[in-house]
């Protein structure tokens, strides 16, 4: 690929913003960003923005025909796990039908498609998981994400599937992910209850964005796991965050997942093995402390405070926010 024409779908979400910014800084690609909103979360003079709803096959076809990308990066998804459990038709339209539309358009454009999946395709009984382990999703969210993976496997297009988990980081206008919610709550000296029986590797969103760019540069396709270095509980993550940000860890109380009485079951003993990505694409996952120091620096430079209007689902009484963007619509 001598000229990289990049189409980033879901560009207004946390990951989408990071991907666009990284390619702007680190490549000579021609970049088109697209989300369901009428305007970009952050306007960049070198990036063209087009509003698109991926649940509309007609809209996706028109977008891809106009842009003629060599690579499409799909950062759009409905990732609110409990909402997916109760609003199944919408979840399928966004997480599966949307991917079908992108795959079909990519085939006609002879474009590669990069897709983001999740550790929720596993049941969380025997983690951490490698790419060779058999998926057994517990929740409807996990089932839609596995179905979206199968869409790409059944297609004859060049594709890359990156499974990740517990994304955290800072970007403009996105709702609180786990880390930012904790910073906001503990900064206000509000006590929080955090589950100590959900195990996995929290992933700095900047690391995932870099892995995407690196895989595209090296033309590494197929399936890779991308996650943080440390496999720990949500509670332990919260305590480490308090240490990095100089906040009171005494405000954090450990609880069990079953106490939350959530609509969707969660994989408890999860985690992703990243050895394949480290070996083949040079991925170097951040430790929890390294990732949190980066977020702290980004927050310090930002003129906006972290959004604290909703707690993640690993804290008591609330739902997990969308990893892709605020709300339930695709980006």
**203 phi, psi to nearest 5 deg:** -120, 120
Cα Dmax for the chain? 56
Could you list the active site residues?
Answer: 141
DSSP-based helix, strand, coil % in the chain, nearest 5:
40, 15, 40
Length of the chain equals: 331
Q: What is the rounded distance in angstroms from the CA atom of residue 258 to the CA atom of residue 255?
A: 9
Distance separating alpha carbons of residues 91 and 79, to the nearest angstrom: 9
CA separation for the pair 168, 104 (Å, rounded)? 31
Look up tokens 């990951």; give the residue.
15
Let me know: does 292 contact 238? Beta carbons within 8 Å. no
3-class secondary structure, 253: strand
Please give the distance of CA 245 from its chain centroid, rounded to a whole number.
23
Q: Which residues contact 191 (CB under 8 A, 6 or more apart)?
A: 251, 252, 253
Q: Which residue has the tokens 């989408």?
A: 16
Helices (DSSP H) in the chain: which residue ranges?
14-26, 57-67, 81-86, 88-92, 98-109, 140-154, 178-187, 205-218, 234-245, 275-281, 288-301
Cβ 115 vs Cβ 159: under 8 Å: yes
């Amino acid at each position: 690929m001598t000229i990289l024409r990049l189409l980033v779908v879901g560009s207004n979400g946390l990951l989408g913003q990071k991907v666009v910014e990284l390619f702007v800084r680190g490549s000579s690609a021609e970049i088109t960003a697209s989300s369901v909103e009428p305007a970009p979360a952050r306007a960049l003079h070198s990036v063209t923005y087009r509003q698109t709803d991926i649940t509309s096959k007609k809209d996706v076809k028109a977008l891809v025909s106009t842009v003629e990308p060599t690579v499409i990066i799909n950062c759009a998804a409905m990732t609110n796990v409990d909402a997916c459990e109760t609003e199944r038709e919408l979840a399928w339209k966004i997480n599966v039908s949307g991917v079908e539309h992108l795959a079909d358009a990519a085939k006609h454009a002879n474009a590669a498609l990069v897709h983001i999946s999740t550790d929720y395709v596993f049941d969380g009984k025997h983690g951490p998981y490698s790419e060779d382990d058999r998926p057994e999703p517990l929740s409807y969210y996990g089932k839609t994400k596995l179905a979206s993976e199968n869409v790409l496997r059944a297609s004859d297009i060049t594709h890359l599937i990156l499974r990740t988990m517990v994304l955290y980081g800072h970007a403009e206008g996105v709702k609180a992910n786990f880390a930012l919610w904790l910073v906001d709550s503990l900064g206000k000296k509000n006590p929080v209850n955090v589950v100590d029986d959900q195990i996995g590797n929290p992933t700095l969103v900047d690391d995932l964005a870099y892995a995407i760019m690196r895989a595209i540069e090296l033309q590494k396709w197929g399936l890779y796991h991308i996650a943080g270095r440390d496999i720990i509980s949500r509670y332990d993550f919260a305590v480490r965050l308090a240490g990095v940000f100089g906040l009171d860890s005494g405000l954090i109380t450990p609880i069990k997942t079953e106490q939350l009485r959530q609509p969707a079951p969660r994989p408890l003993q999860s985690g992703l093995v990243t050895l394949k990505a480290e070996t083949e694409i040079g991925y170097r996952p951040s430790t929890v402390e390294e990732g949190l120091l980066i977020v702290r620096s980004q927050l310090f430079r930002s003129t906006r405070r972290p959004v604290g209007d909703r707690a993640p689902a690993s804290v008591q009484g609330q739902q997990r926010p969308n990893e892709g963007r605020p709300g339930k619509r695709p980006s």
